[in-house]
Amino acid sequence: MLTDLTLAEARAGLRAGRFSSRELTLAFLGAIEALNPRLNAFITVTAERALAQADAADAALARGEHAALTGIPLAIKDLYCTAGVRTTAGSRILAPFVPSYESTVSANLLRDGAVFLGKANMDEFAMGSSNMTSAYGAVTNPWTRRGDNRALVPGGSSGGSAAAVAARLALGATATDTGGSIRQPASFCGIAGIKPTYGRCSRWGVVAFASSLDHPGPLARTVEDCAILLGSMAGFDPKDSTSADIAVPDFAAACARGVKGLRIGVPREYRSDGMAPEIEALWRQGLDWLRAEGAEIVDVSLPHTRYGLATYYIVAPAEASSNLARYDGVRFGARTEGHDLIELYENTRAEGFGSEVKRRVMIGTYVLSAGYYDAYYLRAQKVRALILKDFTDVFQQVDALLTPTAPTAAFAQGERMDDPITMYLNDVFTVPANLSGVPGLSVPAGLDAQGLPLGLQVLGRHFDEETVFAVGAAIERAAGFPALPSIRAGA
């Protein structure tokens, strides 16, 4: 089945002429038609555009021209502005919003010949770890617990992207990661995903959640597929002042490097008392695999890790409260009229935003307020600097770190919804990489007792995604990970 191919395999098949991009695209569009009603992974499907792009790709291939992604069907997280295609950010407030511009990252993918199948569902404004906050409905994880048909969450915020890739509704997807929104859904859905270094992928045209923490990046079924996608997505963008003018290396080549001689750190602070034994076991297993491949395992300390989550939940809402001020009903998006300007704002934002977004806007407004700024925002910035220093120090000793991606496997829809704090705890292993900007990859490594996928996280030095890919690919090879989700194309 064409939908079972990895992105690398599909690319080889297209180049060899074994099938056309139109055939490949039709296979994925068919899978979406069949499964999206169950999964709700896509908010918008752009079948006609996809086929037009596929035909253009086939014409290019026929001329012997192939770029990195010519003819490869992808899902685009609905946080990326796509010219002429509605972009909602998972929010009601952007329901009528059709941008006339293309985000830099998605434009890079189009430049390299990619085919866009549609816009993937997500937590509203990327705020969430379950995809339950989307104004367009929850996304269902293609995986289910053994002997239990209850719908599980795919993780979030890139839940639609992850579910689409896991269920074989796309060869890969764009995603974003502000506190773990690529890595946690990758772990929950049994696929790979990388949050690259801050500055590696342009944020221009990606709807902002928290500017200093937002990282565009890819989700795909294999580490190599992620490397191929990141190679196209990355690159300096003068339109983003925080974009790094650093050459993009051959990430895919780095996947084959191996880990012989690498020093892999095990941060002791990631061992929490409440950690599920099977996650701890998998972590130990991952270290054993790397040791067996010739890596040296080193115990290290990231002493400020325990402040990461608290810091994150000050910095992220603070930036969000300001970034989301532009959704005021005046120039674009949804508007709910009022008798005066203040009422217009109140009505528009009350109707347009969901409760999680409102909660974070209020938290953010509070921590930036006069009299509270020093105690919250300023202190958080100081701790953030210490967390960054932890990583800088530890990467003097080791080449990469290995940790679990998330403290649990996927949970059921509706679980943990009563207490936002429990939900926030999902991000405990992932937020330090956002606060420090270091690259982090989640690779599927095993299953829990109920048959749900679990991921391991590889963290690396700034702009050293190559080592991260090398370590991730080694774990992927060792793990073998043959399991398949119960809901998938052709199943």
Q: 39 or 208: whose CB is closer to another protein?
A: 208
Q: Which of residues 54-93 bind another protein (CB under 8 A)?
A: 80-81, 87, 89
Give phi and psi for 337, each to the nearest 5: -65, 160
Regarding 328 and contact with another protein (CB under 8 A), the answer is yes
What is the nearest approach in angstroms of another protein to the Cβ of residue 397? Answer: 29
Regarding 149 and contact with another protein (CB under 8 A), the answer is no
Provide the 10 A C-beta neighbour count for residue 84: 12
Q: 233 or 262: whose CB is closer to another protein?
A: 233
Of 275, 297, 210, 248, nearest in space to 471 by CA:
297
What is the nearest approach in angstroms of another protein to the Cβ of residue 235? Answer: 15
**In what side-by-side order are the strands of the sheet with 263-267?**
42-45, 115-120, 73-77, 172-177, 215-220, 192-195, 440-447, 453-460, 400-404, 263-267, 296-300
Q: Which residues contact 357 (CB under 8 A, 6 or more apart)?
A: 91, 124, 125, 127, 133, 320, 324
What is the nearest approach in angstroms of another protein to the Cβ of residue 415? Answer: 31
Q: Report d(CA 192, CA 184) in Å as an integer.
A: 10
Q: Report d(CA 244, CA 236) in Å as an integer.
A: 6
What is the nearest approach in angstroms of another protein to the Cβ of residue 175? Answer: 15
What is the nearest approach in angstroms of another protein to the Cβ of residue 78? Answer: 11
DSSP 8-state secondary structure symbol assigned to residue 325: G
Q: Please pick, from the candidates 45, 54, 76, 94, the single residue that binds another protein as defined by CB under 8 A.
A: 94
Q: Are 323 and 178 contacting, i.e. CB atoms less than 8 angstroms apart?
A: no
In 429-464, which ranges are continuous DSSP H helix? 431-436
Regarding 428 and contact with another protein (CB under 8 A), the answer is no
Q: Assign 407 to helix, strand or coil.
A: coil
> Which among 220-228, 235-243, 271-279, 436-444 is the span making contact with another protein, rule CB under 8 A?
235-243
Q: Which of 103, 106, 134, 157 is labelled catalytic?
A: 157
Q: Which of residues 242-281 bind another protein (CB under 8 A)?
A: 242
Q: Which of residues 189-218 bind another protein (CB under 8 A)?
A: 203-208, 210-212
Q: Is 157 a catalytic residue?
A: yes
Count of alpha carbons within 13 Å of 192, Cβ hemisphere only? 33
Of 365, 243, 215, 383, nearest in space to 312 by CA:
383
Q: Which of 130, 161, 181, 436 is labelled catalytic?
A: 181
What is the nearest approach in angstroms of another protein to the Cβ of residue 431? Answer: 16
Q: Is 77 a catalytic residue?
A: yes
Q: Assign 313 to helix, strand or coil.
A: helix
Give phi and psi for 120, each to the nearest 5: -85, 145
What is the nearest approach in angstroms of another protein to the Cβ of residue 106? Answer: 11
Q: Please pick, from the candidates 365, 389, 407, 420, the single residue that binds another protein as defined by CB under 8 A.
A: 365
Q: Which residues contact 152 (CB under 8 A, 6 or more apart)?
A: 140, 141, 143, 144, 145, 188, 410, 411, 412, 413, 452
Q: Report d(CA 417, CA 70) in Å as an integer.
A: 42
Regarding 238 and contact with another protein (CB under 8 A), the answer is yes
DSSP 8-state secondary structure symbol assigned to residue 138: P
Give the tokens for residue 420. 């936002």
Regarding 368 and contact with another protein (CB under 8 A), the answer is yes
Q: 18 or 239: whose CB is closer to another protein?
A: 239
Give phi and psi for 80, each to the nearest 5: -90, 125
Q: 292 or 341: whose CB is closer to another protein?
A: 341
Regarding 382 and contact with another protein (CB under 8 A), the answer is no
Regarding 450 and contact with another protein (CB under 8 A), the answer is no
Total binding residues for another protein by CB under 8 A? 41
Q: Please pick, from the candidates 57, 69, 318, 425, the single residue that binds another protein as defined by CB under 8 A.
A: 318
What is the nearest approach in angstroms of another protein to the Cβ of residue 212? Answer: 4
Regarding 331 and contact with another protein (CB under 8 A), the answer is yes
Regarding 236 and contact with another protein (CB under 8 A), the answer is no
Q: Please pick, from the candidates 71, 73, 90, 99, the single residue that binds another protein as defined by CB under 8 A.
A: 99
Regarding 96 and contact with another protein (CB under 8 A), the answer is no
Q: Assign 252 to helix, strand or coil.
A: helix
Q: 211 or 486: whose CB is closer to another protein?
A: 211
List contacts with another protein (CB under 8 A). 80-81, 87, 89, 94, 97, 99, 101, 103, 203-208, 210-212, 238-242, 318-319, 321-322, 325-326, 328, 330-332, 341, 345, 365, 368-370, 373, 377
Q: Which residues are catalytic?
A: 77, 157, 181
